[in-house]
Each structure stands twice: as structure tokens, then as C-alpha cells.
């Protein structure tokens, strides 16, 4: 029991590891900042839930463990709910104009939790929901340190590019791979030797080009690059993924992943070698409810409007999460919330309300799937590498913003 603490405390910064829940609650009670309280509480809950998922496989043998953990989670969640943005309501108004909704949501949440608590024993069989997510999440977590490959703009010559393109086409047809040689130099400048190879350079076409043409061109190139990548090495992670998930089943609801400790499946090898060839596109990040919850939480702490992707990411404390990803998510989030905001004033309980609920109160889904299985798993090696690599790569920083209609 004691050693567990040490392990857990390794990666999370000023993480606190109280001896008992009571201790923990006391510690939290000494914190003045409500947001901080929530953060700590939620963080703990999250870890508990993660462990819950781990022992889920043994729930029959360890019913009491489950019981205790459930209880702890409930208590902590409850406590967290108490400190739900007490004084910073004004800040939230932007995203949550109606406090009623908020309360309602909490009620729903509690109800759901209670239900869960009640049912968790009786519906044991139902718990085994393998779900496609597991695999997916696992993959994404592994691939996180496959730093995205950005095409260098080294090759600005249109003609040359075209030429290369043609040549490549030809080669694809003939099944040759000579293209590698000609393209490598242009991407060679990437600082990291292990950086993946980008088969094609970026368009950089003169402005004269019509938009359509341009778009078509880019598209064409992308297609080619994909094909090239496929033929070269990584045989379509995405496609494989798609097919598998599609074939598995349709329902991807709440998944209590019964993943065992260390993720070292056979297919990992492909990802562990960021080496030479990589497909150009990044693995799709799945925003699990848990992730989203963190996201929203961070957003709240930052005051919603002036939140920048970078800050959000920092506050989220999620390993391997990219600014880009946060940016993208933020964009989507803002778009949604924009839509909803004006509609709420109308009493109608229509689609907008539904949407709003979905987006605002996803807290209630706080358990279930979690994308970040690596926090306690085996983050040490690969993670650090990933971090440093990412840090040194310049173009990984981007951010998002929703509609330009803000009142900053």
C-alpha cells in the first residue's frame, strides 16, 4: 500500500497522497481557493475511477473493494460539487447563462450516481462492456508521442513539386520506392533524427492559382502522400482502425475498461518505433467525457472568455495533450456554445437545450471512458521522450477560437 503512493506521486506534480480519505478531505478543506479545491477533489476522483476500472475485472472477487471505492468516489464528488464555482458565477455566465440548468444537472448527476451505486452489484454482468473504445484509447495513447509531422516548406518550386508528383505517381504505379531518396533531403532539416518522413513538400503555390485549383491540388497531394505512406510502411492505421471499430459494434456507451495493468500488446511495436516512415496524419484524439470534463473545468478556472488553448491545456494536466488538440476542441466547443446561448432564453425545450446539456453538463459522465490511461500506467520513458521531442518541435503550437463575436 505504501509503495503505491510513491508510484503515483511520480508524475503528478504537487500531488498529494493522504493516508485516508478523511485526511484528504481535511487537506482540501484548508485550501482557500474553491477552484483549487475542486481541482484536487476531481483529480482524486479521477484516479479512483481509474483504479476502479482496473479492478473491474475482479469485481466479483473484490466486492468490498468496489463498494469502498464507490463510496469514496461518491463522497469526493459530492464534496467537489459543493465547491462548484461559488463566487465566479459571473465568469460562467458566458457559457452557462442559466443557473437552473446547472443545478438540474447536478441533481441528475447525483441521481445517476446513486443509481449506479445501487445497481453496481446487481448488474455485474452488464458491466462487462468491452467496447471499442478501449482499443482506440489505447492506440491513441501510444501514438501520442508520434509527434505530428509537418511538411517543410523547403521546396517552394512549383514545377519541381509537380515533377516530383508525377514521378511519384509513376513510381506508385510501378511499385517502386525510389521516391524516398528524392524527398528525404527536403525534410531532412527536422531537428530530431527520428522525425518521420514527409513524402511531399508543401505547395506554396503562387497566388495566381484559383482557389479551386489550389484546393484540388492540395487534395491531390495529400491523397498521394497518404498512399505513399501506406505503401511505404505503416499500413494504414486509420483504415484498419475504422474497419475494426465498424465491425465490432455500434454502441460505444459507457465503458468500464477492464484493462489490465501495463499496455504492451503486440501491435504496439509499430508505434513504438517512430523511426523512419510514418503516416503523415496524427492519430485522432478522442475526447472522452472525462477529458471534456477537465477541459470545461479548466475553462471555468480561466474565466471562459479569455481562456487560451495553452492555458487550458496546462490546467488540464493531461499527458500528451497537444495545444492543437485543445485548440480544435475549443473551437468546436465555442461553436456549440454560441449556438446554444441565444436559444436558451427561449423557453423551448428543444434541440438547443439538448445540445446545451450535452455540452455543459458532461460532468455527469465523469466516469466511464477515459482517454488517458497512461498517467499511472507506464508514462516514464516514452512520455518524457515525447514531451521533449514535442517541445523542441516548433510548429506544434496553434490555437483556436470560436466566432469572432466576442466581447473581450
Partner DNA sequence: ATAAAAATAT
Partner DNA sequence: AATATTTTTA
Q: Where does this chain bind DNA (CB under 7 A)?
A: 132, 136, 148, 150-151, 202-203, 215, 218-219, 222-223, 226, 238-239, 241-242, 245-246, 252, 280-287, 308-310, 323-325, 327-329, 331-332, 334, 336, 397-404, 406
Residue 225: CB minimum distance to DNA, A: 9
> DSSP assignment, residue 57?
G
Give dist(CA 101, CA 361) in Å, integer: 9
Name, in order, each residue with C-beta under 8 angstroms of 122's C-beta and a sequence gap of 6 or more.
Answer: none
Give dist(CA 22, CA 30) in Å, integer: 13
Residue 187: CB minimum distance to DNA, A: 13
CA dihedral (309, 315, 316, 318) positive or negative: positive
- Taking CA atoms, 338 is separated from 178, 269, 316, 330, 333, in Å, by 50, 43, 23, 12, 8
Burial label for 223, CB within 10 Å (0-12, 13-18, 19+), is: exposed
Closest CB to DNA among residues 111, 244: 244
Residue 303: CB minimum distance to DNA, A: 13
Closest CB to DNA among residues 67, 205: 205
Residue 168: CB minimum distance to DNA, A: 16
Closest CA to 92 of 337, 383, 318: 337
Residue 262 corresponds to which cell in the numbers above? 501495463
Closest CB to DNA among residues 345, 404: 404
CA dihedral (145, 146, 147, 148) positive or negative: negative
Give dist(CA 408, CA 102) in Å, integer: 24
Give dist(CA 406, CA 401) in Å, integer: 10
Give dist(CA 283, CA 136) in Å, integer: 10
Residue 251: CB minimum distance to DNA, A: 9
Geometric angle at alpha carbon 17, from 15 and 19, rounded to 5°: 165
Closest CB to DNA among residues 87, 404: 404
For residue 376, which phi and psi values (nearest 5 degrees)? -110, -5
Say how far residue 320 (Cα) sits from the centre of its chain.
8
Amino acid at each position: 500500500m505504501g509503495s503505491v503512493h510513491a508510484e503515483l506521486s511520480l508524475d503528478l506534480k504537487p500531488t498529494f497522497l493522504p493516508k485516508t480519505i478523511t485526511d484528504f478531505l481535511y487537506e482540501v478543506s484548508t485550501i482557500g481557493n474553491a477552484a483549487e479545491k475542486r481541482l484536487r477533489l476531481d483529480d482524486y476522483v479521477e484516479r479512483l475511477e481509474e483504479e476502479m476500472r482496473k479492478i473491474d475485472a475482479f469485481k466479483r472477487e473484490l466486492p468490498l473493494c468496489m463498494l469502498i471505492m464507490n463510496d469514496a468516489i461518491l463522497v469526493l464528488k459530492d464534496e467537489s460539487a459543493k465547491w462548484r464555482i461559488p463566487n465566479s458565477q459571473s465568469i460562467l455566465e458566458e457559457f452557462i447563462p442559466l443557473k437552473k440548468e446547472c443545478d438540474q444537472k447536478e441533481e441528475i448527476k447525483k441521481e445517476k450516481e446513486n443509481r449506479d451505486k445501487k445497481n453496481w452489484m446487481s448488474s455485474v454482468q452488464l458491466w462487462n462492456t468491452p467496447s471499442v473504445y478501449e482499443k482506440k484509447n489505447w492506440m491513441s495513447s501510444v501514438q501520442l508521442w508520434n509527434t505530428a509531422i509537418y511538411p517543410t516548406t523547403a521546396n517552394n518550386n512549383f514545377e519541381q513539386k509537380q515533377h516530383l508528383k508525377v514521378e511519384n505517381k509513376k513510381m506508385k504505379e510501378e511499385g517502386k520506392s525510389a521516391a524516398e531518396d528524392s524527398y528525404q533531403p527536403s525534410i531532412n532539416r527536422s531537428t530530431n533524427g527520428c522525425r518521420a518522413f514527409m513524402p511531399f513538400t508543401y505547395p506554396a503555390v503562387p497566388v495566381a492559382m484559383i482557389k479551386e485549383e489550389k484546393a484540388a491540388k492540395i487534395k491531390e497531394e495529400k491523397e498521394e502522400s497518404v498512399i505513399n505512406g501506406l505503401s511505404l510502411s505503416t499500413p494504414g492505421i486509420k483504415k484498419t482502425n475504422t474497419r475494426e471499430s465498424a465491425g465490432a459494434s455500434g454502441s460505444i456507451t459507457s465503458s468500464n475498461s477492464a484493462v489490465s495493468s501495463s499496455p504492451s500488446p503486440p501491435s504496439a511495436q509499430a508505434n513504438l518505433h517512430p523511426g523512419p516512415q510514418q503516416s503523415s496524419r496524427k492519430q485522432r484524439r478522442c475526447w472522452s467525457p472525462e477529458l471534456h470534463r477537465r477541459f470545461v473545468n479548466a475553462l471555468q478556472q480561466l474565466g471562459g472568455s479569455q481562456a487560451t488553448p495553452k492555458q487550458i491545456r496546462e490546467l488540464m494536466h493531461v499527458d500528451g495533450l497537444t495545444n492543437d488538440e485543445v485548440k480544435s476542441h475549443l473551437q468546436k466547443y465555442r461553436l456549440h456554445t454560441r449556438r446554444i446561448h441565444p436559444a436558451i432564453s427561449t423557453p423551448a425545450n428543444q434541440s438547443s437545450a439538448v445540445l446545451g446539456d450535452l455540452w455543459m453538463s458532461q460532468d455527469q459522465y465523469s466516469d466511464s471512458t477515459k482517454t488517458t490511461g497512461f498517467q499511472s500506467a507506464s508514462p516514464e520513458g516514452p512520455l518524457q521522450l515525447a514531451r521533449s521531442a514535442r517541445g523542441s518541435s516548433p510548429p506544434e503550437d496553434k490555437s483556436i477560437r470560436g466566432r469572432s463575436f466576442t466581447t473581450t
